[in-house]
Amino acid sequence: MSESEVRVINGNYAAAEAVRLVDVDVIAAYPITPQTPVVEYLSEFIANGELDAEFIHVESEHSAISAVIGASATGVRVFTATASQGLALMHEVLFIASGMRLPIVMAVANRALSAPINIWCDHSDAMAQRDACWIQLYCESNQEILDTIIQAYRIAEHEDVLLPVMVCFDGFTLSHTLEPVEIPPKEKVQEFVGEFEPTHCRLDPEEPMTLGPVGGPDCYMEFKKMQDEAMKEAERVIGEVNREFADEFGRSYGNGLVEEYNTEDADYIVIAMGSVCGTVKHVIDEERPDVGLIRVKSYRPFPGEQIAEIIQDREGVVTIDRAHSYGAMPPLWTDVKAHAPDVEISSTIAGLGGRDIRPEDVLKAIEVAEKGKGTDEPVWINVNA
């Protein structure tokens, strides 16, 4: 078996490389900043014979997700990628992909939503899809993008799960930034993901199935409850796949759902997602050894009980949201609070539309927790009055 290779690549390339290693059969994607290079790299792989896949040059993201639904239901591995407005355009169909229990994997290079139009990073796009019954995994590094996409196929296709997976990574901060990434040999990845053999949902004239029927008041709730149960199963499966991946490839990301950093004796806890976690770790290392970080890798399913346990008996807890639920509290805060109603949790909003979240901004967020502010309305960090 050939050896792993370390290459300096951007996050988009890491995503495309993972798709090549998994050897996906059908790709349908539409270009949108900052995801565009994913589509370009995959096209290059196919053009050069490095990836034997069908590429559908769809005329919209709505058709991209629709085409991969058709392909997945026909019994092949599929991939698509998008961001921002593209993800919003898919909205309607996302619910159908999960309702049909299709193990689709999609990369999302997180970007703000219009208006005003803005191509830079925040998490508004994926947060707006949080109730679509897609597993949402957030990455902190380019290595994690590659590893998570490989894992995503195992999670999505697991018979106890059968749900689509969104692998989210911050636009530009990761998508366009070079980092060294260890690329495992293809044979090893192939062995890890195994064959795709769908049985529950497959279009085949030899054994006709009716997929996507009408479900009335007599059965709709049962279907939806089964989806929720599958999400709960996913919590276990994500952990299992993370461990198995660690055994095979020597890398893991916390327990697959949350990653703790310096939490053991920390007085204060920061809860965040995505690339900002690297900045938080830096602040902890350099200036605030009394602070710990909970990086939420799996936003759906949400490991609320685990988080609630970690944040007990601290001096202060603060969430950093890169999205907002206007007129209410931001999504990450809301999810944490729901599982820890007795814990005082401060809420901050930072980094919308690509505004940098600098170490001093992380310190400001910690300060919010120290002062016990932001518990009933979010504190906006680094915003002009």
Partner 1 sequence: MGGRKPRLPIPEEELLAPGHRACAGCGSALCVRLCLKALGKNTIVVTSTGCIEVTTTPYPETAWKVPWIHVAFENAAAVASGVERALKALGKDDVTVAVFAGDGGTVDIGFQALSGMVERGHNVVYICYDNEAYMNTGVQRSGATPPYAATTTTPAGKVWRGEMRPKKDVPRIMVDHGVPYVATACVSFPQDLIKKVKKAKKVDGPAYVHVLCPCPPGWGYDSSETIEIGELAVETGMWVLYEVEDGEFRLTYRPKERKPVEEYLKRQKRFQHLTEDEIEEIQRMVDEQWEELEKLAEK
Q: Kindly list the residues in this chain that would bind partner 1 in the complex (CB under 8 A).
A: 25-26, 28, 53-54, 56-60, 62-64, 66-76, 78, 92-93, 96, 100, 203-205, 207-216, 219
User: Considering the complex, what minimum distance in angstroms separates the CB of residue 219 from partner 1?
Assistant: 6
Judged by CB, which is closer to partner 1: 25, or 235?
25
205 vs 327 by CB, closer to partner 1: 205
CB of 202 to partner 1, least distance (A): 8
Q: Which is nearer to partner 1, 6 or 221 (CB)?
A: 221
The DSSP-derived string for 94-144 is HHHHHHTT---EEEEEE-PPSSS---S--SHHHHTTTTS--EEEE-SSHHH
Least distance (Å) between residue 76 CB and partner 1? 5
In the complex with partner 1, which residue's Cβ is closer, 54 or 179? Answer: 54
To partner 1, the closest distance from the beta carbon of 354 in angstroms equals 30
Smallest distance, Å, CB 71 to partner 1?
4
Neighbours of 29 (CB within 10 A): 28
Minimum distance from residue 103 beta carbon to partner 1 (Å): 14
Judged by beta carbon, residue 180 or residue 212, the one nearer partner 1 is: 212
Q: Are strands 135-138 and 298-300 parallel, antiparallel or unpaired?
A: antiparallel
In terms of CB distance, is 212 or 250 closer to partner 1? Answer: 212
Asked whether the CA dihedral 194, 199, 202, 206 is positive or negative, the reply is positive
Q: Are 3 and 53 in contact (CB under 8 A)?
A: no
With beta carbons less than 8 A apart as the criterion, state whether 277 and 295 touch: yes
Closest CA to 261 of 299, 213, 294, 302: 294
- Rounded to a whole number of angstroms, the minimum distance from the CB of residue 99 to partner 1 is 10
The residue among 31, 22, 102 whose CA lies nearest residue 69 is 102
User: In terms of CB distance, is 217 or 341 closer to partner 1?
Assistant: 217
Whether the CB-CB separation of 74 and 203 falls below 8 Å is answered with yes
> Which residues have CB under 8 Å from 335's CB, separation 6+?
299, 302, 304
The Cα 374–Cα 317 span in angstroms is: 10
Integer Cα distance of 9 and 168 in angstroms: 17
- Cα(142)–Cα(122) distance, integer angstroms: 17
